Amino acid sequence: MKLDVNALGTFYRMAREGAGLAAGRLTHMLGVETQVGVTKLNFMRGQEIQRDFEDSTEKVGVRVKLTGGIEGYSVVVFDRKNALRIVETLLAEAGPNADVDADVSEIDGFDEMTESAATEVGHIMNSGFIDGWADVLETVIDVSTPEFVEGQTAEPFFGDIDEAPADDDLALLFQSRIETVGTEVGFSHYLFPKRESMSKLLERLRTSGGIEYDKLDGFDRMAERGAEEVAKTATTLTGIDTSIDIRRLNFVSLEAIPEQVADEKLVGVAFEFDGMPSGYLLFLFDEESAHEIVDAMVPMEVDEDGFGEMGTSAIKELGNIMASGFLDGWANVLDTTIDHSTPEFIHDIGAAAVDPVIIQLGENQDFAFVFDTVVMADGREFDCEVYAIPDESDLERALNNLDVDRIEEAPTTAEFQEVDNA
């Protein structure tokens, strides 16, 4: 099974179009203004999906079986409180004739009426997504009767779906978030297509030679190995026990990245890298996490805001270590050479922190791969977004030359440049 950026771009447009239709239908149904928040294509392993459900919160979902243009399952999953909040609004709109308590959130479980209302909401959301996909693909997708599911683990939602990925298998999933005025309706959306159905779609959408799916799987594993090396090197250099966890690989539109960046002060480090592949690498921390990093790396009092000369140097040093671990690891596995620039420090609000990189990239491409990453240092957790944005044609050539057997065999030891503290 092969995919290329054009095919992934089409899937992204499917996701955006479907989320837009789902948001519009939610607006009509609840009588409140809604808009699409985040849309991503996630490449996730089965164990990561299961981990999403291991937060001890009750969840409810609605799933449907798909046939026709896409075969498989579409599942919308809400936190139970979010689902009850929507149901409460929906039943309130039904007027005084609706036989329901005023405060649905106090209900311990779903009764026949609230389950029916939640199923209706989930079905409308699923149908919005599916109709959007059908519009983009110019095909017909048939949908089964919706099924209501609830539980605290992934098992009730996906355990009996053959198309759901095994623990170590990589699956392409859609993630969307729809926001209402004054609050956020958070939910996860999972599409589990049959492999042969997805393969036919990809073949129809492909415009270039494409990348074998197992090579993209290898790209994800390369990043995992690079992250392991980053953690080892950071621990050695700083004396702080450090680990880095890559949660998933996302495929997003460049123009959407500024929209997805938190509207708050961010601290980051940007690099340009050159070789096979070439591109840009950007590490972004929220300001609180950056302060934690500085406190952990600089064993003395620093400037009041933490980002004077010493604070800036500490952030750049960590960024340099991370960049070297990622890129040298990739180069070793790909049997190529990748050089990167000296780190450029970033301290700005929201989209302004990423705009310079996006503007430069936007001249040549429309999409980017983004690694959702968490850095753990000395027992403290730092949320870190890693934007690895390779040149599309370079990436395709590099991955098609990838020997997946080398991923576990090739050394990933990083050789990094000294940071200029001046």
Helices assigned H by DSSP within 163-250: 195-205, 213-238
Residue 258 sits in the same domain as residue 342: yes
Residue 284 sits in the same domain as residue 232: yes
Model pLDDT, residue 119: 92
Model pLDDT, residue 101: 44
Cβ-Cβ contacts under 8 Å for 139 (sequence gap 6 or more): 68, 69, 70
* Count of the separate structural domains present in the chain: 2
DSSP string of 3-33?
E-HHHHHHHHHHHHHHHHHHHHHHHHHHSS-
Q: Is residue 362 a part of any domain in this protein?
A: yes
HEC sequence for 97-156: CCCCCCCHHHCCCCCHHHHHHHHHHHHHHHHHHHHHHHHHHCCCEEECCCEEEEECCCHH
Residue carrying the six token digits 């009750």 = 58
* 134-185 pLDDT per residue, tens: 887 888 999 999 999 999 888 899 888 887 877 777 677 777 777 666 666 6
Residue 216 sits in the same domain as residue 201: no
In whole angstroms, give the CA distance from residue 112 to residue 270: 54
Cβ-Cβ contacts under 8 Å for 320 (sequence gap 6 or more): 269, 342, 343, 416, 417, 419
Under 8 Å between Cβ of 280 and 350: no
Model pLDDT, residue 66: 92
Residue 317 sits in the same domain as residue 216: yes
For the chain, the C-alpha Rg in angstroms (whole number) is 23
Q: What CATH number is attached to the domain comprising 395?
A: 3.40.1550.10
Residue 391 sits in the same domain as residue 251: yes
Residue 260 sits in the same domain as residue 127: no
Under 8 Å between Cβ of 327 and 273: yes
In whole angstroms, give the CA distance from residue 185 to residue 204: 34
Residue 176 sits in the same domain as residue 251: no
Q: Which of 251-265, 295-309, 334-348, 383-397 has the lowest mean pLDDT?
A: 295-309
Cβ-Cβ contacts under 8 Å for 67 (sequence gap 6 or more): 141, 142, 144
* Structural domain boundaries enclosing 337: 211-409
Residue carrying the six token digits 């079905």 = 123
Instruction: Between 29 and 280, name the one with better pLDDT.
Output: 280
Tokens representing 191 are 């599409």
* 370-416 pLDDT per residue, tens: 777 777 777 766 777 788 788 877 877 777 777 766 666 655 554 44
Q: CA 61 from chain center: how many Å?
A: 20
Residue 132 sits in the same domain as residue 247: no
* Band of residue 63 on the pLDDT scale cut at 50, 70, 90: very high
In degrees and rounded to multiples of 5, residue 239 shows phi and psi of 75, 5
pLDDT at 186 over 70: no
Helices assigned H by DSSP within 239-389: 257-260, 287-297, 309-334, 355-361
Decide which of 167, 183, 205 is a domain's last residue: 205
* 318-363 pLDDT per residue, tens: 888 888 877 887 787 778 888 999 999 999 988 888 888 888 877 7
In degrees and rounded to multiples of 5, residue 278 shows phi and psi of -110, 170
In the Cβ-directed half-sphere of 375, how many Cα atoms lie within 13 Å? 29
State which H helix or E strand residue 90 sits in. helix 80-93
- Report if pTM > 0.75: no
Residue 215 sits in the same domain as residue 175: no
Residue 188 sits in the same domain as residue 305: no
Residue 224 sits in the same domain as residue 182: no
Residue carrying the six token digits 């699409």 = 36
Burial, 379: exposed, middle or buried (Cβ in 10 Å; 0-12, 13-18, 19+)? exposed
Residue 24 sits in the same domain as residue 169: yes
- Average pLDDT value for residue range 277-304: 78
Helix or strand or coil: residue 302? coil
Cβ-Cβ contacts under 8 Å for 308 (sequence gap 6 or more): 302
Smallest CA-to-CA distance from 61 within 133, 115, 132 is with: 115
Q: Is residue 419 a part of any domain in this protein?
A: no
In whole angstroms, give the CA distance from residue 376 to residue 397: 34
